[in-house]
Amino acid sequence: DTAVSQTPKYLVTQMGNDKSIKCEQNLGHDTMYWYKQDSKKFLKIMFSYNNKELIINETVPNRFSPKSPDKAHLNLHINSLELGDSAVYFCASRDSSSYEQYFGPGTRLTVT
Amino acid sequence: KNEVEQSPQNLTAQEGEFITINCSYSVGISALHWLQQHPGGGIVSLFMLSSGKKKHGRLIATINIQEKHSSLHITASHPRDSAVYICAAPLNNNDMRFGAGTRLTVKP
Protein backbone atom coordinates (compact mmCIF):
# COMPACT_ATOMS: atom_id res chain seq x y z
CA ASP A 1 0.00 0.00 0.00
CA THR A 2 1.30 3.43 -0.91
CA ALA A 3 1.90 5.48 2.23
CA VAL A 4 1.79 8.93 0.66
CA SER A 5 0.20 9.25 -2.75
CA GLN A 6 -0.16 12.19 -5.10
CA THR A 7 -2.22 12.73 -8.20
CA PRO A 8 -1.58 13.47 -10.93
CA LYS A 9 2.02 12.44 -11.46
CA TYR A 10 2.36 14.73 -14.46
CA LEU A 11 0.43 17.89 -15.19
CA VAL A 12 0.87 20.00 -18.30
CA THR A 13 -1.23 23.12 -18.55
CA GLN A 14 -1.26 26.61 -20.01
CA MET A 15 -0.56 29.89 -18.32
CA GLY A 16 -3.53 31.41 -16.60
CA ASN A 17 -5.25 28.12 -15.83
CA ASP A 18 -6.25 26.92 -12.37
CA LYS A 19 -5.19 23.44 -11.29
CA SER A 20 -5.16 21.21 -8.23
CA ILE A 21 -2.80 18.52 -7.02
CA LYS A 22 -4.10 15.96 -4.56
CA CYS A 23 -2.25 14.28 -1.72
CA GLU A 24 -3.35 11.50 0.57
CA GLN A 25 -1.52 9.67 3.33
CA ASN A 26 -2.68 6.45 4.97
CA LEU A 27 -0.12 6.54 7.78
CA GLY A 28 -2.33 8.25 10.31
CA HIS A 29 0.11 11.17 10.50
CA ASP A 30 -1.10 14.48 11.84
CA THR A 31 1.16 16.84 9.91
CA MET A 32 1.37 17.18 6.15
CA TYR A 33 3.55 19.35 3.93
CA TRP A 34 3.88 20.68 0.43
CA TYR A 35 7.33 21.23 -1.05
CA LYS A 36 8.46 22.71 -4.34
CA GLN A 37 11.56 21.37 -6.07
CA ASP A 38 12.95 23.69 -8.69
CA SER A 39 14.99 22.84 -11.77
CA LYS A 40 18.17 22.81 -9.69
CA LYS A 41 16.63 20.12 -7.49
CA PHE A 42 16.48 22.39 -4.46
CA LEU A 43 13.60 21.56 -2.13
CA LYS A 44 11.73 24.35 -0.38
CA ILE A 45 8.84 24.10 2.01
CA MET A 46 5.62 25.75 0.92
CA PHE A 47 3.06 24.78 3.53
CA SER A 48 2.67 22.73 6.64
CA TYR A 49 -0.69 21.58 7.98
CA ASN A 50 -1.15 20.20 11.46
CA ASN A 51 -4.57 18.97 12.48
CA LYS A 52 -6.10 21.02 9.70
CA GLU A 53 -4.38 24.21 10.81
CA LEU A 54 -1.91 26.01 8.57
CA ILE A 55 1.35 26.29 10.45
CA ILE A 56 3.80 27.64 7.91
CA ASN A 57 3.34 29.63 4.78
CA GLU A 58 6.75 30.55 3.44
CA THR A 59 6.95 33.35 0.91
CA VAL A 60 4.52 31.61 -1.40
CA PRO A 61 2.24 33.66 -3.66
CA ASN A 62 -1.38 33.67 -2.59
CA ARG A 63 -2.22 32.03 -5.90
CA PHE A 64 -1.27 28.86 -4.05
CA SER A 65 -3.75 27.64 -1.49
CA PRO A 66 -3.59 24.39 0.47
CA LYS A 67 -6.86 22.73 1.30
CA SER A 68 -7.22 19.95 3.86
CA PRO A 69 -10.64 18.29 3.89
CA ASP A 70 -9.47 15.89 6.60
CA LYS A 71 -6.32 14.77 8.38
CA ALA A 72 -5.39 12.33 5.62
CA HIS A 73 -5.56 14.79 2.75
CA LEU A 74 -3.76 17.98 1.84
CA ASN A 75 -4.51 19.27 -1.62
CA LEU A 76 -2.73 22.10 -3.38
CA HIS A 77 -4.73 24.48 -5.50
CA ILE A 78 -3.00 26.89 -7.83
CA ASN A 79 -4.74 29.82 -9.49
CA SER A 80 -3.60 31.73 -12.56
CA LEU A 81 -0.64 29.50 -13.27
CA GLU A 82 2.60 31.16 -14.38
CA LEU A 83 5.61 29.82 -16.24
CA GLY A 84 7.68 30.04 -13.05
CA ASP A 85 5.36 27.62 -11.32
CA SER A 86 6.83 24.80 -13.40
CA ALA A 87 8.51 22.47 -10.93
CA VAL A 88 8.06 19.19 -9.14
CA TYR A 89 5.75 19.42 -6.14
CA PHE A 90 6.11 16.94 -3.31
CA CYS A 91 3.68 16.16 -0.57
CA ALA A 92 4.98 14.70 2.70
CA SER A 93 3.65 13.66 6.07
CA ARG A 94 5.01 13.22 9.56
CA ASP A 95 3.88 11.74 12.81
CA SER A 96 4.12 13.96 15.87
CA SER A 97 6.40 11.43 17.59
CA SER A 98 9.23 11.89 15.07
CA TYR A 99 10.79 14.49 12.80
CA GLU A 100 11.08 11.95 10.00
CA GLN A 101 8.99 12.79 6.96
CA TYR A 102 7.55 10.46 4.35
CA PHE A 103 7.32 11.80 0.83
CA GLY A 104 4.90 11.25 -1.98
CA PRO A 105 6.13 10.43 -5.49
CA GLY A 106 5.92 14.01 -6.66
CA THR A 107 3.89 15.83 -9.31
CA ARG A 108 5.76 17.32 -12.23
CA LEU A 109 3.95 20.50 -13.24
CA THR A 110 4.77 22.07 -16.58
CA VAL A 111 3.22 25.40 -17.45
CA THR A 112 3.38 26.37 -21.11
CA LYS B 1 25.96 30.81 3.13
CA ASN B 2 23.22 28.22 3.03
CA GLU B 3 21.79 27.02 6.30
CA VAL B 4 22.49 23.44 5.25
CA GLU B 5 25.63 22.81 3.25
CA GLN B 6 26.46 19.54 1.52
CA SER B 7 29.67 18.39 -0.08
CA PRO B 8 30.53 17.35 -2.62
CA GLN B 9 27.89 18.61 -5.05
CA ASN B 10 28.70 15.84 -7.51
CA LEU B 11 30.48 12.58 -6.91
CA THR B 12 31.46 9.87 -9.35
CA ALA B 13 32.74 6.56 -8.06
CA GLN B 14 33.61 3.12 -9.33
CA GLU B 15 31.54 0.20 -8.20
CA GLY B 16 32.82 -1.12 -4.90
CA GLU B 17 34.25 2.14 -3.64
CA PHE B 18 33.52 3.57 -0.22
CA ILE B 19 31.47 6.77 -0.49
CA THR B 20 31.25 9.66 1.96
CA ILE B 21 28.88 12.59 1.68
CA ASN B 22 29.10 15.40 4.20
CA CYS B 23 26.51 17.76 5.61
CA SER B 24 27.03 20.79 7.83
CA TYR B 25 24.15 22.78 9.20
CA SER B 26 23.83 26.01 11.10
CA VAL B 27 20.16 25.85 11.97
CA GLY B 28 17.72 23.50 13.46
CA ILE B 29 17.22 21.30 16.38
CA SER B 30 19.63 18.53 17.19
CA ALA B 31 18.63 16.09 14.48
CA LEU B 32 19.28 15.51 10.82
CA HIS B 33 17.39 13.79 8.04
CA TRP B 34 19.06 11.99 5.12
CA LEU B 35 16.99 11.49 1.98
CA GLN B 36 17.59 9.73 -1.31
CA GLN B 37 16.11 10.85 -4.59
CA HIS B 38 16.39 8.44 -7.49
CA PRO B 39 16.49 9.48 -11.14
CA GLY B 40 12.80 8.65 -11.35
CA GLY B 41 12.20 11.48 -8.92
CA GLY B 42 10.80 9.79 -5.81
CA ILE B 43 12.20 10.78 -2.42
CA VAL B 44 12.92 8.13 0.19
CA SER B 45 13.80 8.69 3.80
CA LEU B 46 17.08 6.96 4.68
CA PHE B 47 17.80 8.08 8.22
CA MET B 48 16.65 10.46 10.88
CA LEU B 49 19.32 10.69 13.55
CA SER B 50 19.97 12.82 16.56
CA SER B 51 23.10 11.20 17.94
CA GLY B 52 25.86 8.75 17.18
CA LYS B 53 25.49 6.43 14.27
CA LYS B 54 22.82 4.50 12.42
CA LYS B 55 23.30 1.66 9.96
CA HIS B 56 20.97 0.21 7.39
CA GLY B 57 22.47 -2.35 5.06
CA ARG B 58 25.42 -0.74 3.29
CA LEU B 59 24.43 2.75 4.43
CA ILE B 60 25.84 4.33 7.56
CA ALA B 61 24.99 7.77 8.90
CA THR B 62 26.84 9.56 11.66
CA ILE B 63 26.17 12.83 13.39
CA ASN B 64 28.14 15.15 15.65
CA ILE B 65 25.62 17.44 17.32
CA GLN B 66 28.22 19.73 18.87
CA GLU B 67 29.89 20.35 15.53
CA LYS B 68 26.57 20.33 13.63
CA HIS B 69 27.95 17.92 11.12
CA SER B 70 26.73 14.65 9.67
CA SER B 71 28.13 12.17 7.19
CA LEU B 72 26.50 9.55 5.04
CA HIS B 73 28.66 6.61 4.07
CA ILE B 74 27.99 3.92 1.48
CA THR B 75 30.11 0.81 1.64
CA ALA B 76 30.73 -1.39 -1.40
CA SER B 77 28.93 1.07 -3.65
CA HIS B 78 26.83 -0.23 -6.51
CA PRO B 79 25.42 1.43 -9.64
CA ARG B 80 21.95 1.20 -8.13
CA ASP B 81 23.16 3.61 -5.42
CA SER B 82 23.29 6.32 -8.08
CA ALA B 83 20.93 9.01 -6.89
CA VAL B 84 20.81 12.45 -5.32
CA TYR B 85 21.37 12.38 -1.57
CA ILE B 86 19.87 15.22 0.40
CA CYS B 87 20.36 16.17 4.02
CA ALA B 88 17.76 18.21 5.83
CA ALA B 89 17.66 19.90 9.23
CA PRO B 90 14.34 20.13 11.07
CA LEU B 91 13.90 23.63 12.47
CA ASN B 92 11.00 22.66 14.67
CA ASN B 93 7.99 20.43 14.45
CA ASN B 94 6.78 21.96 11.24
CA ASP B 95 9.69 23.29 9.21
CA MET B 96 12.81 21.82 7.64
CA ARG B 97 15.76 23.23 5.68
CA PHE B 98 17.28 21.19 2.89
CA GLY B 99 20.76 20.97 1.48
CA ALA B 100 21.23 21.32 -2.24
CA GLY B 101 21.90 17.61 -2.63
CA THR B 102 24.85 15.50 -3.72
CA ARG B 103 24.50 13.80 -7.07
CA LEU B 104 26.19 10.39 -6.84
CA THR B 105 27.01 8.34 -9.91
CA VAL B 106 28.45 4.89 -9.40
CA LYS B 107 29.95 3.38 -12.52
CA PRO B 108 30.15 -0.37 -13.06
**A18 pLDDT exceeds 70?**
yes
Question: Chain A closest CA to B96's CA: distance in Å?
Answer: 7
Confidence of residue A10 (pLDDT cuts 50, 70, 90): very high
Q: Is the pLDDT of residue A97 over 90?
A: no
Taking residues A33-53, report their average pLDDT.
Answer: 86
Q: Do A45 and B95 touch (CB under 8 A)?
A: yes
Which pLDDT score, from 0 to 100, does residue A75 have? 95
Cα distance between residue A82 and residue B2, in whole Å: 27
A89 touches chain B (CB under 8 A): no
pLDDT band at residue A51 under the 50/70/90 scheme: confident
Note whether B35 contacts A99, CB cutoff 8 Å: no
Contact A103 B43 (CB under 8 A): yes
Would an 8 Å CB–CB cutoff place B44 in contact with chain A? yes
What is the distance between the alpha carbons of residues B58 and B11, in angstroms, rounded to a whole number? 18
pLDDT in the model for residue B25:
92
- The pLDDT of residue B2: 76
The confidence score (pLDDT) of residue B9 equals: 94
pLDDT band per the 50, 70, 90 thresholds, residue A1: low
B86 lies within 8 A of chain A by CB:
yes
Q: Do B48 and A103 touch (CB under 8 A)?
A: no
Is A43 in the B-facing interface, judged by CB distances under 8 Å?
yes
pLDDT below 50 — which residues of chain B? none
Q: What is the mean pLDDT of residues A64-89?
A: 94
Distance CA B16, CA B49 (A): 26
- Give the per-residue pLDDT at A27: 93
Contact between A109 and A48 under an 8 Å Cβ cutoff? The reply is no
